[in-house]
Structure 1
Amino acid sequence: MYKKYAVVILVLIALTSCTQDKSIEFSSQSLTEKELSYCEDKDCPEVTINYVEVFGNESIAERINNKINSFIYQSLLLGEDTTPTAKTIEEAATGFIEVYYADKEQFPDMAGKYFAEISVNEIYNTDNHICFELRQYLYTGGAHGYGTTTFLNIDPRTGEELSANELFKNKNKFVNFAEEKFRAQQEIDKNESINATGFTFENDKFSLPESFGFIKDSLIFVYNQYEIASYADGPIELKIALKEAKPFLKID
């Protein structure tokens, strides 16, 4: 009898340990140019980075943090290189500022300092789905800066990114449903061209942005500037209530 109880207790402990081992927590972090050793004796351009760091299960946290850091490194990468070499956020920020000084030396009359503002926020969290909002806005010369908003959907049990096929039962049917919502929002009649009011969808065919996010009660899609309209039109947002989207979703 006692042996049976001992076995049950050991199983419960093992299950509890597994559950705790997979748990993760979030911590808000920030970095500005003022904290960089490179800027101690320089009037550096403004760099503001606010992001989430994940703790808990080591392997899961590492996978998620790597994805977050990769976005930050890529956002701060200037010039012809397309693959970041930075190993830390501080190094990536320093690299951005170094490019500014190199460009300033080459073009002394360059107007305005470069500027970078980057944020990563946790905006949706369930047992099987976490969504991060990734924003970046950079000014690197010219008439104006440019910013984007994208999303990262993660399985918190593995730390891996969730694809559209893992989130939607039938993506094509959902796109048709989303087009109805978009047309209603933009007041485009169902019999009119999707580009009738000035949008620039490729081949005059509605499509959703590759990146999409989840918030408390809605699915959110953001068309960044130039994707389907001019820069002056700004980002265009489409929200669909989760209760309406639920028939098309594989997970809660």
Structure 2
Amino acid sequence: MKKLTLLPLAMVLVFYLVSCEGITKKETKRINTEQTGYSFERIFVVEEGCSVDTLEDCTHVLLEYPVFEGEKMKQANSFLNHRMADILGFGDAESDSLVDLEKAAQNMLQDYREFKKEFPESPQVWNVRMISHLIYEKEDLVCIKMVSESYMGGAHGSLNVSYITFDTTTGSFVHLFDRIENKELFLSLAEQKFRKKRNLTPEENLEKAGYWFPDNKFRLPANIGVDSNGYLLHYNPYEVAPYASGPTDIVIGFEELKKE
């Protein structure tokens, strides 16, 4: 298997913009890998009066994500762009155009200002952070792990992990389960590992144990990724259990799927 190899950065561009909408820091890093080239974009928008060098006690938005080169990967770039815009609450499902993520970030800050006008005594500090990086690149696949963390009021913030895989020959999103040859074995291994992770016996009823599997039927998570260790399954909070139960991570090794 080819390992992801990062060559020296060819270019780093940093822009600062100070306005009534806050302070914006934009950074671009050019990266080459064995399979494809991409730019690593970083957008950091913080409330006016705060420092771009600290995240402490300041309402802010931090976005870090790859932008792939080449015509074939336009679809992948659009997918990532709209995913981040949706999380920021600035998406448009009917539009194919790329969303201005800097504007989307500033829009979140504007929502915070309006909140503070209505509740000036509130100590709340809002933040949204989305950090993405490549975790796998081989042949015609590239997999990205996106970690989204936010707090915009309420009892607690949210933390979600997304695995996003693309076909580098077309730029299209790939459902990894569709590529699994032995789906029955994959499902069986996933359930075994889930039960072990959650200290459940093989016979124990999932629903009665407090997990959201209707009719006691195990199901895969929405997020399946891949790296050098195998397939990565991640259940986010609220996906199959209450928030207090936290996430569940499972790894199914490539070799495990070769067993008869």
Structure 1 length-normalised TM: 0.76
Aligned equivalent of 1:47, options 44, 61, 69: 61
Contact 2:224 2:231 in 1 (8 A): yes
Structure of higher RCO (CA pairs closer than 8 Å, 6+ residues apart): 1
Shift in CA distance, 139/246, structure 1 to aligned 2, threshold 3 Å = farther
- Please state whether the residue corresponding to 1:157 is helix, strand or coil: coil
Alignment equivalent of 2:87, drawn from 54, 66, 75: 75
Structure 1 position 125, deviation (Å): 0.5
Letter in 2 for 1:46: H
Whether 1:168 aligns to 2:180 is yes
**Corresponding residue SS for 1:100:** helix
Matched, 1:135 2:143: no
**2:157 — aligned with what?**
145
CA distance in 1, matches of 2:253, 2:145: 18
Indicate which of 40, 47, 58 corresponds to 1:28.
Answer: 40
Describe the superposition over 1:141-184 as per-residue Cα deviations: whole angstroms up to 9, x where unpaired.
11210121111111111111112453222535421232122223
Secondary structure of the residue that 1:153 maps to in structure 2?
strand
| Structure 1 residue 122 displacement after superposition | 0.8
Task: Give the aligned CA root-mean-square deviation in angstroms.
Answer: 2.5
Give, in whole Å, the separation in 2 of the partners of 1:146 and 1:108. 24
Are the aligned partners of 2:197 and 2:248 in contact in 1 as well (CA < 8 Å)?
Answer: no
Tell me which of 205, 222, 242 is aligned to 2:217.
Answer: 205
SS in 1 for 2:62: strand
- Going from structure 1 to structure 2, the CA distance change for 1:246 and 1:149 (only over 3 Å counts) comes to farther
d(CA) in 1 for partners of 2:143, 2:155: 33
Larger Rg: 1
Range with bigger deviation, 178-187 or 120-129: 178-187
TM-score, normalised via structure 2 length: 0.74
Write the letter of the residue equivalent to 2:256.
Answer: E
- The Cα of 1:217 is off from its aligned counterpart by 1.1
Q: SS state of the match for residue 33, structure 1?
A: strand
Structure 1 residue runs of 4 or more that deviate by more than 6 Å after TM superposition? none
1:202 positional shift:
2.8
Offset at residue 93 of structure 1 (A): 0.8
- Which letter does structure 2 place at the counterpart of 1:207? R
Partner deviation per Cα, 1:89-123 (whole Å, 9 max, x = no partner): 21111111111112222333333111111011111
Once residues 189 and 177 of structure 2 are traced to their aligned partners in structure 1, the CA distance between those partners, rounded to angstroms, is 16
Aligned amino acid, residue 29 of structure 1: E
Of all paired residues, the percent bearing the same amino acid is: 25
Q: Is the Cα–Cα contact under 8 Å of residues 73 and 84 in structure 1 kept in the other structure?
A: no
CA–CA distance in structure 2, aligned partners of residues 237 and 104 of structure 1:
38
Contact 1:188 1:196 in 2 (8 A): no
Residues 28 and 247 (structure 1), Cα distance of their counterparts in 2 relative to 1, 3 Å cut:
farther
- Of Structure 1 and Structure 2, the greater helix share is in 1
Residue 181 of structure 2 aligns to a residue whose secondary structure is coil
Structure 2 unaligned spans of 5+: 1-34, 51-57
